Amino acid sequence: MTITFIGHGYVGLVTACVFADFGNNVWVVGRTPDKIERLKNGDPLIYEPGLEELLQKNLEAGRIHFTLDYDKAIPESDVVFIAVGTPPTSTGEADLSSVLDVATNIGKNLKKGYTVVSCKSTVPVGTNLKVEEILNKVKPEGAEVDVASCPEFLREGTAINDTVYPDRVVIGSKSQKAVKKLLEVHKPLPGERVITDLASAEIIKYASNAMLATKIAFANLISLYAEKTGGDIETITKAVGADNRIGHKFLSAGIGYGGSCFPKDVMALNETGKHLELDTGLLDAVERINRTVRDNFIHKVTANVKGKKLAAWGLAFKPNTDDIRFAPAVYIIEDLLKMGYEISAFDPAAMANVRRTIGDKITYVDDMYEAVEGADALLIFTEWNEFKQANLEKVKKALSAPLIIDGRNLYQPQEMKDRGFTYISTGRQVV
């Protein structure tokens, strides 16, 4: 089958590479010449474990192609996936301009025959109907097209595995012909098939991400209770998560969620609910708690650090990615800079992206131990594996004061006390 993806971000490129690996002929359409050339040469543009190797394999096999031109890819495609960004506007609503522009370009280049256009971009309810309207308005005579919603559920850092082994495949369409075609495309994948209408498919993606963000926010709220009352969040969430109705996943306290999905999707669902005159107080609270735990971390710094020189471990919003969109570390660092702190930072993958965002306001180092040299405290923002196995004696000698403020609970308090650190973690008592 010939499949086209419009967009080469985490969703578009990973899914394109996986479907090419299944033996399909896959096109990826972009809009930036430099990026398309880099992709043609095997540079995936993003840091995602295993992606570069998978891209190279399918380039060498001639199964994946990159282009700027819709007229090269669309006419021969059986299925076209829209996988462009839907960032939040200033009011929190999803910006659909790219999705709708892409729909116009797809429609103009449809062939005479049948094509399924399926949206993988996360979009509010009713967007696919707008896509359908555009396609039918601009398509050439003789072209038959059906629209579907096929949301993705991959996680950055484990995107390939999530694409190859999904928990479920959601297909929303009013056309049984489109559903049949998409079932054929997804035949190599395991997971439950959920066949539904367009509106339900659009809501499923938002509901899934909002639920996960709510679990994180709940854990963070309880961590604040624990800090105020002498409790231990690790013990609390272990016991709460042991209830199989709740589960342990996403019940981890920290400095809040970030990334390309949770923040914008909670905001978009919230704004859509308000337009529908629904009470969205729950989502308001989720967003508020996410800000509160960042502020709480900053308070720990200002209340406990004697000097102004700080070391930062981790900049990405989570490990195994270079994505800094809505990263808690970036928000916190920007606030600390305004307060006059000097920051030396290390991240295994995300430093180039941070430099493009905030410039040289902080010092970037190539070694995690260099970052802590002479610092008045070490701040931990991201739970990269190398931080979990750090040489803590080396860290202690490098710091001007043995103080660690840990936003991810990488270490055990008693061990840190025994090693002579002042250790301030999340939802646990200071040692």
CA gap 5, 16 in Å, rounded: 7
Active site residue 150: no
Length of the chain as a residue count:
431
Query: C-alpha 295: how far from its chain's center?
Result: 22
Beta sheet of 64-67, edge-to-edge order: 64-67, 25-29, 2-6, 79-82, 113-119, 143-149, 168-172, 192-196
Amino acid at residue number 133? E
CA gap 189, 147 in Å, rounded: 21
CA gap 178, 232 in Å, rounded: 51
Q: Catalytic residue among 17, 119, 150, 261, which?
A: 261
Residue 407 near residue 381, CB atoms below 8 Å: yes
Q: Which neighbouring-strand residues pair with 423?
A: 404
Q: How many CB atoms lie within 10 A of CB 321?
A: 26
The closest alpha carbon to 156, from 11, 360, 343, 315, belongs to: 11
Query: C-alpha 181: how far from its chain's center?
Result: 28
Residue 145 near residue 110, CB atoms below 8 Å: yes
CA gap 409, 218 in Å, rounded: 17
Output the CA–CA distances (angstroms, integers) from residue 74 to 2, 109, 126, in the order listed.
9, 6, 24
Extract the tokens encoding 34. Answer: 């430099």
The closest alpha carbon to 6, from 121, 125, 88, belongs to: 121
Output the CA–CA distances (angstroms, integers) from residue 95 to 28, 91, 122, 327, in the order listed.
22, 10, 10, 20
N-term to C-term CA, the chain: 60
Extract the tokens encoding 140. Answer: 């050439």
* Helix (H), strand (E) at residue 405: strand 403-406
The DSSP code sequence of 82-139 is E-----B-TTS-B--HHHHHHHHHHHHTPPSEEEEEEE-S---TTHHHHHHHHHHHHS
Which residues participate in catalysis according to the annotation?
Answer: 261
